[in-house]
A and B are shown apart, each in its own frame.
Chain A
Amino acid sequence: MLFNLLSFTKRNTFLIALLLLVSPFMQADWFALNMTRGSTDISNEVFELHMLIFWICVAIGVIVFSVMFYSMWAHTKKKNPVPAKFHENHKLEIAWTIIPFLILIAMAVPASKTLVKIYDDEAGDINIQVTGYQWKWQYRYLEDDVSFFSNLSTDLDEIYNLVPKGENYLQEVDEMVVIPAGKKVRFLITANDVIHSWWLPAFAIKQDAIPGFVNTAWTIVDEPGIYRGKCTELCGKNHGFMPIVVKVVEQAEYDEWVFAKKQEAIKLAELTTKEWTAAELVERGESIYEVNCVACHQTSGQGISGIFPALAGSDIVMNDKDRNIEILMEGVQGAAMNSFSYLSEVELAAVITYTRQSWGNAEKGDGEIVIPKDIVDYKEPKI
């Protein structure tokens, strides 16, 4: 009895020690091994297709390699000092040409069927234009006149290992795409600068976002929830930092969200006519600068030598207000600087004012600020 008890405790200690040893591994994601099954009919079908071809490939591998390994074991020079003389056998050669051919057809037929389903191009109940920018996504709800940008919301300190990383590290955004459950949603995917690619694994959608082209993809998601995706075409230095987050909600909640977004837009429009002080604009401009400009022109306004010009000490930013507005509205031909005319008048005025007041620009230059009305005037047809 005592002996039994002892051995039991011993075994227990052993188990605990083992658990302690492997626990860091158990928390970890050693099991992130396979494709996601996803949450739409299409993504399920794609997953089944993936598993089908996977097992066919495994079977082929097992057969071929077992013949080979058998021969490596049984036909060594020691065991088989005199090699066989056979070569060329037409029956065998025809068989190993025809059989793979038939297997291929068995794979290609269901794949083609699924593909035809994916290529259904009827309009959706809701149509959302998705535009890739360096390095963020813009979503425009075509029926509801709702439009916003979605930026990575992970803190730079997390990326540079100064603070612990959150659960959704690099998979979180400041504003999610919201779609209703059970409705057919069509995405019209394009890009503003370079090629991006909009990938949402749970919907089995991956479509390149190409400037000058509109690609489409559709989905019907029944299960409300939050789904995360990524940009999958190299688009410059922050390619890894422009995630996609889609929130699927019930229809009622979706309607509320659309209403709230419209109210927000009205409030923003009212701001255009407000009287602005320099300090207010700078304060507002700083956050806009951080989201839209920092990647190239840097927090210090110094840019990156040779590719992205410095704003600190720039003659245009210090002394030429008109040209400054023009560059933001039209972009610079042949350079990485694109038009930012999609920002609101308030945002544009604020961010230009911010750059004109920061890094000692105001002291060295004319210190003029830009108010939303300046942008409105710029947009007026010129006579």
Chain B
Amino acid sequence: MSAVIENHHDDHDHGPAKGITRWLYTTNHKDIGTLYLWFSFAMFLIGGAMAMIIRAELFQPGMQIVEPEFYNQMITLHGLIMIFGGVMPAFVGLANWLVPMMIGAPDMALPRMNNLSFWILPFAFFILLSSLFMEGGAPNFGWTFYAPLSTTYAPPSVTFFIFSVHIMGASSIMGAINVVVTIMNMRAPGVTLMKMPLFVWSWLITAYLLIAVMPVLAGAVTMMLMDIHFGTSFFNAAGGGDPVLFQHIFWFFGHPEVYIMILPAFGIVSHIIETFSRKQLFGYSSMVWAMLSIAILSFVVWAHHMFTVGLPLAAEIFFMWATMLIAVPTGVKVFNWVATMFRGSLTFETPMLFAVAFVVLFTIGGLSGLMLAIVPADFQYHDTYFVVAHFHYVLVPGAIFSIMAAVYYWIPKWSGNMYDERLGKLHFWLSFIGVNVTFFPQHFIGLAGMPRRYPDYALIFADWNMVSSIGAFLFGFSQLLFLFIVIKTVMGGKKATDQVWEGAKGLEWTVASPAPYHTFSTPPKVD
């Protein structure tokens, strides 16, 4: 008898709550995914506005718009906001939306923690941004916050910065644990590890990287806190400490962090290229092994960020060779994408355009990374605009293009409406041209000798800086078009089919469009 009553309760399928509480109290993976994505979009626009200030100041030699002190605050916040507020939450948002649907799970494994890990993020960034209005200004020591500039010589707001980084770290760790537990425990019967979609694989690896290195970052900022307020001398040479120790700890976090921001992109791009080539991915298992090798190698290459700190010869040679080794699995991935497209049946809808641009421009960023690994040459490249060009090529047309590709690819499933293809293509071309006009000339500026984090420069760098600034304005303002397209799609438009894309494969395409509030309450059958 009681069984009947319980059944009755189970059948009572409830949709989302009404009003603001739906978003505050939600434990639904789709709602939380949406929150993460909108939050990261807001941060992307704020961090982007800071980039516009930076490029406006660099438009011409001389100081015109801001003071050097404020310029340093802008570069610091731009980096922190784009990394921790833009790229990482966007990937977590995508993981929330997609991982359960791709593995046939009803939700994330730890839904309340999911809510918490999102809702502490706005506080972290509120604290970070409020430091702009504090006495002494916002953090001004670069997103890499090298001690002792970030300890003894830092503005008072550094303590708020440390608190904010701790919150971001806690959020990331909770998000990562959730992803691991979900993937390990909640796969539908038949979804074995080697049958998981590549996006799920990429996130499983990313999540382990996060769990491994976010505590290291927390350790670094805690040591800073101790140096600043409690009289320790971890990084203070005068007290017997070691400023270089900070860099070792920071980059032991920092290098895996770089791959945290690119592995999910690999997953996304693999799906999109497969779909729009209408052909099976060339080498699924080699893609998985390549990602695993990249992740493992990421722990033994950190000192390539520190070739000029005076490492012993043996260390320089080790880190050079280890770094170059990463090119092998990365090459495997690129070759796989090209081989997947080869003799496929290609169409170029907006997601595919972004994915193809990703492969080309990410490869350019990878090749300049290879150049940076060569120690003697790095003595000339290090801390110049060549490095700025390199990491923006892997992060903007790399990570960010992959996120945009993902939004265009999955938004019909999320909203039930098709986006406007003409506007999507326009957004792509504006972004593609903008990003290249911005960052390609920075290779020249760097090789010709302009250091990074300079608010003003010698006259020889003037021309290409102006070009770069024009590109940046184009790229920046094009993103308002992206905002418009997303809002337009959410509000309405041509209804999407369940399958959406002709060549798409995977469980998420078997559910209705828009995806119902609860999917896979009973696990699907997978062969």
Residues of A bordering B, CB below 8 Å: 25, 28-30, 32-36, 42, 45-46, 49-50, 53-54, 57, 60-61, 64-65, 67-68, 71-72, 75-77, 80-88, 92-93, 96-97, 100-101, 104, 107-108, 111-112, 114-116, 118-119, 134, 158-161, 165, 167-171, 193-195, 197, 199, 201, 204-208, 210-213, 215-216, 230-241, 304-307, 334-336
Contacts and interface: CB of A to CB of B under 8 A. Distances in A.
Most buried by B among A36, A85, A115: A115
A82 B346 CA distance: 10
B149 interface: yes
Contact of B374 (A35, A49, A71, A236): A49
Given A87-B281, A195-B146, A204-B376, A101 B155 contact: no
Nearest to B242: A212
Contacts of A88: 282-286
B72 to A, nearest CB: 6
26 contacts: A32-B444, A33-B444, A33-B448, A53-B370, A54-B371, A57-B370, A68-B338, A71-B343, A71-B346, A75-B341, A77-B278, A81-B345, A84-B343, A88-B283, A101-B328, A104-B328, A112-B320, A159-B62, A161-B63, A171-B458, A206-B383, A208-B309, A212-B241, A234-B72, A305-B136, A336-B153
Contacts of B69: 237, 304
Nearest to B244: A210
Contacts of B445: 32
Given A33-B447, A61-B367, A93 B345 contact: no
B163 interface: no
B519 interface: no
Contacts of A206: 308, 379-380, 382-383
Interface string B332-367: 101100111111111110000000100110011001
Nearest to A60: B367
A209 B209 CA distance: 32
A199 to B, nearest CB: 7
B320 A97 contact: no
B334 A64 contact: yes
Closest A-B pairs by Cβ, 10 of them? A212-B237, A306-B135, A306-B136, A215-B310, A240-B454, A84-B343, A32-B448, A57-B367, A83-B345, A83-B279
A32 B464 contact: yes
Given A210-B310, A307-B155, 16 more contacts: A28-B462, A46-B380, A53-B370, A83-B344, A84-B344, A92-B339, A97-B328, A97-B332, A100-B327, A212-B243, A213-B244, A232-B384, A234-B141, A241-B68, A305-B136, A306-B135
Nearest to A118: B376
B483 interface: no
A115 B156 CA distance: 41
Contacts of B325: 104
Most buried by A among B284, B313, B327, B376: B376
Interface string B395-423: 00000000000000000000000000000
B189 interface: no
Given A83-B277, A335-B152, A230 B451 contact: yes
Interface in B241-276: 241-244
Contacts of A336: 152-153
Contacts of A195: 146, 148-149, 243
